[in-house]
Amino acid sequence: MGINKMLADKLYQKIQIYCFSGTGNSRNVAVWLTQVAKDMNIESHIINIAQIDRLSIEPPDPESLLVFVSPVHGFNYPPIMLHFILRFPKGKNKVVLMNTRAGMLIGKFITPGINGIAFYLSALILIIKGFSIKAILPVDMPSNWISLHPGLNHQTVKYLHEKNKLKVEVFARKILSGKSHFKALIEVYDILLVPIAFGYYFIGRFLFSKTFYASKACNNCDICMKACPVKAIIKVNQRPFWTFNCESCMKCMGNCPEKAIETGHGFIIAYSLFFSLIFLVGFYNYFGLYFYRIENSLLKMLVESLLFLSLLSLWYRIIHWSMRFKIMERIIVFTSFTNYKCWGRRYKALKPD
């Protein structure tokens, strides 16, 4: 009896899982955690942070193990999760950090994604708030970012799900028994991605938000707008319009029943060339190369980034308006990689077993 009580005391009595998920990878990880918890008679609860008030967050149960699970965007937690952690109430709970990163497959070898600063930055914030980090785990779920690479086939997706489910189950039994896990910290190269991670946060994510559009296949069902976890899609001129609030979680593209949502590779490439070869040249010539001679390269990059994003907003509106004309809509569709079967397989995570 004494031994059983001692073992029971090592177990957490309750876990609270704070989850953000676009296409469902992180949601599946959260569900797999709850399944293990149930087997161990531990109460568990998943909180979808996209569906709660993130400005006034309820303090967690002080006796609970807290788990934060989210995808990695631009080598960091996406802003919705990062801002949630920044606003999270202070506490003394033990914390587990998890992420889903872009897993791929070569033969039977799962190529790992990259954490970047997701664990380092969030762990630092939570430690300052009084929490203690007990474990971290990256999970190489199927990459869903078909804006940047061809979509994965069903066999690959299924294989990655099966392997990662086993990985999460082993991890869950370990941490729910009171043990720690920090193997991911050996990936020290992650720290080298700090500049890229901050560049994505301040610039890159806004660029990606202006790459999405709806083709003529759109039937105005509004599923994309209703399902968007950050309410980044609005209706402009009877067509879905992506605002700068977009997290590029790919949920809209994966959920669209008509496969009408595409990534505008062609018009983004055209814009980048126009901005670099025409607009910037004219801008510097007009101002007598004053800005070009700025010695502070960081200030120069800031000026150019603000110009880039400001003009991009106008460019996107022009493209969005011009797609009412069939010839323009066809050109945009024709120059979008996601329009082709060899690239544009839509992704939605398999339902957890």
Question: Please, what are the domains in the chain?
Answer: 2-197 (3.40.50.360), 200-339 (3.30.70.20)
Residuewise pLDDT in 10s, the chain (353 residues)? 444 443 444 478 899 999 999 999 999 999 999 999 999 999 999 999 999 999 999 999 999 999 999 999 999 999 999 999 999 999 999 999 999 999 998 988 999 899 999 999 999 999 999 999 999 999 999 999 999 999 999 999 999 999 999 999 999 999 999 999 999 888 878 888 999 999 999 999 999 999 999 999 999 999 999 999 999 999 999 999 999 999 999 999 999 999 999 999 999 999 999 999 999 888 877 775 555 555 556 777 788 889 999 999 999 999 999 999 999 999 999 999 999 999 999 998 998 87
- What pLDDT, on the 0 to 100 scale, is given for residue 124? 97
Tokens read off for 110 = 């799962």
Could you tell me which of 277, 298, 113, 269 has the C-alpha nearest to residue 199? 298
- What pLDDT, on the 0 to 100 scale, is given for residue 290? 58
CA 148 from chain centre, in angstroms, equals: 14
- The span from the CA of 205 to the CA of 224, in Å, is 19
Phi and psi angles of residue 66, each rounded to the nearest 5 degrees, phi first: -100, 135
User: Crossing angle of helices 265-274/297-322, nearest 10°?
Assistant: 130
Phi and psi angles of residue 110, each rounded to the nearest 5 degrees, phi first: -85, 115
- What pLDDT, on the 0 to 100 scale, is given for residue 50? 94
How many other β-carbons are positioned within 10 Å of the β-carbon of residue 114? 16
**Three-class SS of 294-320:** CCCHHHHHHHHHHHHHHHHHHHHHHHH
Residue type, 109: F
- What pLDDT, on the 0 to 100 scale, is given for residue 8? 44
- Our CA angle for 342, 271, 247, nearest 5°, is 65
How many Cα atoms occupy the beta-carbon half-sphere of 16 within 13 Å? 14
pTM (2 d.p.)? 0.91
Q: 264 near 336, Cβ under 8 Å?
A: yes
- The span from the CA of 95 to the CA of 137, in Å, is 12
- What pLDDT, on the 0 to 100 scale, is given for residue 294? 58
- The span from the CA of 63 to the CA of 236, in Å, is 48
Q: 257 near 221, Cβ under 8 Å?
A: yes
Phi and psi angles of residue 99, each rounded to the nearest 5 degrees, phi first: -145, 160
Please tell me what DSSP assigns to residue 55. Answer: S
Q: 279 near 304, Cβ under 8 Å?
A: no
- What pLDDT, on the 0 to 100 scale, is given for residue 296? 59
- What pLDDT, on the 0 to 100 scale, is given for residue 7? 44
Within the chain, residue ranges assigned H as helices are: 2-10, 25-39, 79-87, 118-128, 154-175, 194-199, 205-209, 223-227, 251-255, 265-274, 280-286, 297-322, 326-334
